[in-house]
Amino acid sequence: MSEGTVKNKIRRFLLFVPLCFIGLYTCCGLETFYEIKPPYGAIAQNPADGVTIPQPPVHGSESRKFEFSTEANNGAGFIAPGTEVYYRIYNSVEKLQQDAKAVNAANTDVAGNGFFKMKSLYYTPLRIKDGGKNQDLLIEGAHRVVIRLADEEAYTGGVFLDGTLTFEPVLRNKDISFDLIPSAPNPQPPLQTDSDFDFSGNESGYWYVNAYAVSVGLLSSTWTRSVSKVLPLGFLAFKKE
């Protein structure tokens, strides 16, 4: 076999391999990539930027809320799209910011990186009561969202969509209330053994609740779960005494 014949066969083989992969992706429905839009427009009372150590933190009852906007993500190849909120309670703002720095570093345009880093730090889905049933919060559609974790003074705890109270109450993991402050009717401060509580770090005069929002949905072509970049919502501070 001549050298030219061998070169021609190698050239045809190299052309054939990409065509095989193109055919495989087309047949399997893997050729389409869908981008799920993340929530946006958060107003952080205390920024979880991995740096800021507020002394003291913003902690008044009027400002003790999470606020952001959700995307509908309809018509983009997704089934049952919505927005979830994840939280963790901290004893130390320094430890909170250390974890926030790690999440922010992983939260690139490659969707899922920030989410999986956040989950690895034991963040937990926010829960609500809906129709008499306790369940993880899933916000459907595009809304301006305000979340107050508990009743305080003149403010009602719950999830408000476009100004309307839609879900109440807001619940922690194991369906415990967020009545963290001593003046609550039935105070339930976090315990060292609670899975949603990070007890490490320097003791302070506050409980800190940090949260992230994320868009989720099922890809209609593959029935696999897709997640967006996470949106830092900042943290809320509850004075212990």
The stretch 201-222 carries a mean pLDDT of 90
Task: Give the Cα separation of 141 and 164 in Å (integer).
Answer: 14
Domain residue extents for the chain: 1-31, 34-239
Which pLDDT tens digit goes with each residue over 60-78? Answer: 999 999 999 999 998 767 8
Task: Give the Cα separation of 156 and 135 in Å (integer).
Answer: 20
The stretch 95-108 carries a mean pLDDT of 96
Q: Which residues are within 8 A (CB) of 227 and not within 5 positions of it... i.e. 6 or more apart? A: 36, 111, 112, 115, 214, 215, 216
Confidence tier at 135 by pLDDT (50, 70, 90): very high
Of the candidate ranges 3-7, 61-65, 214-218, the one whose mean pLDDT is the lowest: 3-7
Per the prediction, the chain carries an average pLDDT of 85
pLDDT at 17 over 60: no
The stretch 52-61 carries a mean pLDDT of 89
**pLDDT (0 to 100) of residue 32:** 36
Task: Give the Cα separation of 83 and 214 in Å (integer).
Answer: 6
**pLDDT (0 to 100) of residue 185:** 83
pLDDT at 118 over 90: yes
Confidence tier at 29 by pLDDT (50, 70, 90): very low
Task: Give the Cα separation of 118 and 152 in Å (integer).
Answer: 29
pLDDT at 27 over 70: no
75-98 burial, b for 16+ CB within 10 Å, e for fewer? ebbbeebbbbbbbbbbbbbebbbb
pLDDT at 12 over 70: no
- Tell whether pTM > 0.75: yes
Higher-confidence position of 115 and 109: 115
